[in-house]
Amino acid sequence: MEDKMQTKNIPTIIVIFGITGDLVKKKIMPALFSLFINNQLPTTFKIVGFSRQDISPKDFEKYLFETSAQYKDANIKTRKAFCKLFSYHSGVFENLADFEDLENHLRKIDDDWGICANKLFYLAVPPNLYEAIFKNLAASELTKPCSPEEGWTRILVEKPFGKNLETSEQLEELLSSLFKEVQIYRTDHYLAKEMLQNILAFRFSNNLFETNWGRQNIERVHIRLMEKIGVEDRGNFYDSVGALQDVGQNHLLQMLALVTMEHPREFSVDAIRKNRADILKTLVLPTEEDVRTSAFRAQYAGYRDIAGVAPDSQTETYFKIRAFLSHPKWKGVPFILESGKRLQDQRKDIEITLRHPNPCLCPKKEQHYKNKLTIGIEPIEGVTIHFGSKKEGFDMELEERTLDFRFRDAEKRTQYIEEYKKLLLDGIAGDQTLFVSSEEVRAMWRFIDPIIIGWRKNLMTLAYYQPDTSFVFADSFVE
Ligand code: BG6
C-alpha cells in the first residue's frame, strides 16, 4: 500500500469505461472535479474516457464543459482547466481491436510524459458488459504492468457483482483468472461513508463499549436504510434487482460486518478485510421456514407504472429481514435488516439495543428503559446513547434521556462526492480497505441467495404500501 499523502507523486491515467453514463455524471465526475479544484490529484494525471458513442474530441470537451457547470465551486476558468485533463476514445466494449487502439492512445500519453504511468481502469458500465471488458483488457495486455516496479494496473468495478451466488462466482472466477486480487477494487460506497469508517474508530479506539460488545450485553441490532427517494428513472435496472440485491446484499451487510467484526489488532488492509469477511461467513443461512416467517417484502403502489418496470412486477422496493450469526459472540442476537424506497422519512442508521440490567436498581412498577446506542448516518451523522436517568425531584423516578454526539454540520457533508473521492484516491494509493474482497462478496451472496429463491417460490407474499408513508412492517413479525 502506498502512502495516501504521496498520491500526488503517483503518475496515473484513469480510463473510465462508460464515460458518458449517469454514474460518471452524477458521482465520479463531481468527485474528480472536487479533487481537481482542491489540488488533490496526482501532479501527472490524465483521464481517458471510453464509450460507444461516436463523438468527436471537440464534442466530448463541450459535453464535459457543460456537465461541469453544475458542480460545486465551478467557474469557467476551472472548468476549462478540468477539461484539459481528459481525452476521449470511442470504441465498442466487445471489440478487441478497440482495446488495442486504446493501448496506442495510452502509449502516446506515456511517451509524452516519458514514463510508464500507472493505469486505473474504472468500469462505470452496466454489469452485462463486465465480462467483455475484462476479457479484452486482459487479451490486449492493457492490464499488464510495464515491469514489476513500474506502471501498476488496477481495475475498479462497481456493484452489483453478479445476480446471485452462482453468477457472482462465475464473475469472480473470470476475474481471478485474468487479474490478481491486489489489482481488483470492488466498490461499495457505504464503506467510504464517514460514519461507517467511524464505527471502527468508535469501537476499537475507545474503551467505552467494546469490552462487553456481543451477546451478553446486546439484545438486538436494527440496521436501517430507509429512503424518501423512489426508483425514478432507474426502472429498467431496479426491476431486475430489487431492494435486497440493490442495497441489502452489500450496504446493509457491510454495516452489519463493521458492527460485529472482531478487533483487527492493527489498521491494516488485510486484517480489516479478513475480519469483515470472517464475520460475514458466520451469517446463518436462512431456511425456507426463515423466509416464510422472517423475510418480509413489499412494493410501493405506483411502482409498476415506472418506465422499464414490468406491469406485473414482483420486485420488492422494501424488505425487513431477521438475520443471525453463528459466531459465539453473537449467537442468538437478532439482526434486523430493513430498507425501503419512497418512505416518508429518510432514516439510515444502526440501532443497538442493550439488554435490560439484571439485577436492576429500577423503581418498581415504572416503565423500564433499555439502553440504546444509535449510530446515525442520515439525516444525522452521529451517535446517540439512550439511557435511564433520575427525574428531578424528591422521588426516585426514572426517565429516558440521551447523550448526543454530532459528527459535523449537515451542510459539510457532500454526499457521493466525498465517498467517491476517497474511492478514487484509494484506488490510486493502492489501499483496498474500503473495497470489498472476493471472500466478502461470496459470504454476502450465500446469505442472500436462499431469500431470493424463497421469494421466487412465494414463501413470503409480496405486500404493498402507499408511497411517502411511514410504512414499517410490525416488529413482532420478525422478532
Ligand atoms: C445505491 C443504490 O447503491 O445506494 C441506490 O443503488 C440507493 O438505490 C443508494 O439509493 C443509497 O446510497 P446513499 O449513499 O444515498 O445512502
Three cell numbers, residue 174: 473470470
pLDDT value at position 109? 96
Mutate to test the pocket of ligand 1, among 225, 232, 378 (most ligand atoms within 8 A of CB): 225
Q: What is the whole-number distance in angstroms between the Cα of residue 477 and the centre of ligand 1?
A: 26
Angle between helices 253-260 and 269-280 (to 10 degrees): 110
- Quick one: pLDDT at residue 148? 81
Name the 3-class secondary structure at 355: coil
Span from the CA of 81 to the centroid of ligand 1 (angstroms): 31
The one catalytic residue among 222, 251, 263, 356: 251
Residue type, 53: Q
Q: Find all residues with CB under 8 Å of 241, minimum gap 6, and list them.
A: 160, 163, 315
The pLDDT score that the predictor gives to residue 72 is 83
Position in ligand 1 atom list of the atom nearest CA 225:
16
CA 227 / ligand 1 centre spacing (Å): 9
In sequence order, the 6+-apart residues with CB closer than 8 A to the CB of 239 are: 231, 308, 309, 310, 313, 315
- DSSP 8-state secondary structure symbol assigned to residue 27: I
For ligand 1, atom 6, name the residue with the nearest CA. Answer: 246
- Taking the centre of ligand 1 as the mean of its atom positions, its distance from the CA of residue 251, in whole angstroms, is 8
The alpha carbon dihedral of 297, 300, 301, 302 has a sign of: negative
How far is it, in rounded angstroms, from Cα 305 to Cα 358? 53
Closest atom of ligand 1 relative to the 243 alpha carbon: 8
- The residue with cell 479506539 is 205
Distance (angstroms) between ligand 1 centre and the Cα of 247 equals 7
Helix (H, G, I), strand (E, B) or coil at 157: strand
Beta strands (DSSP E) in 189-292 are 218-226
* pLDDT computed for residue 146 by the predictor: 85
Extract the C-alpha cell encoding 399: 426517565
Residue 5: what pLDDT? Answer: 61
Q: CA 435 to CA 431: how far, in whole Å?
A: 8
Mean pLDDT split into 10-residue runs, the chain, 479 residues: 71 96 93 96 97 92 93 90 96 96 95 95 93 94 87 94 94 92 96 97 92 94 97 93 97 98 94 98 98 96 97 97 98 97 96 92 80 96 95 91 95 91 96 97 98 97 94 62
Q: Which of 186, 227, 252, 348 to mutate to test the pocket of ligand 1 (most atoms within 8 A of CB)?
A: 227
Please give the pLDDT value at position 150: 87
Nearest CA to ligand 1 atom 11: 247
What is the residue with the minimal CA distance to atom 9 of ligand 1?
Answer: 247
What is the residue whose three cell numbers read 449517469?
22
Does residue 53 contact residue 20 with C-beta atoms inside 8 Å? Answer: yes
Q: By alpha-carbon position, which residue is closest to atom 4 of ligand 1?
A: 247
Grid cell listed for 87:
481525452
Ligand 1 closest atom vs CA 238 = 8
**In whole angstroms, what is the distance from residue 341 CA to residue 328 CA?**
34
**Pocket probe mutation, ligand 1, options 158, 186, 189, max atoms within 8 Å of Cβ:** 189
Q: What values do phi and psi take at 17, rounded to 5?
A: -85, 130
For position 155, what pLDDT does the model report? 96
Q: Which atom of ligand 1 is nearest to the CA of 348?
A: 16
Please state the φ and ψ torsions of residue 298, each to the nearest 5 degrees: -155, 165
Ligand 1 centre to CA of 256 (Å) is 16
Find out whether 206 and 405 touch, Cβ atoms under 8 Å: no
Q: Ligand 1: which residues within 6 Å by Cβ?
A: 227, 246-247, 348
Model pLDDT, residue 476:
57
**From edge to edge, which strands make up the β-sheet containing 118-123?**
86-90, 45-51, 12-17, 118-123, 153-157, 184-187, 435-436
> How remote is the CA of residue 474 from the centroid of ligand 1, in Å?
24
Q: Note if 251 is an active site residue.
A: yes
Ligand 1 atom with least separation from CA of 419: 14
pTM beyond 0.85, yes or no: yes
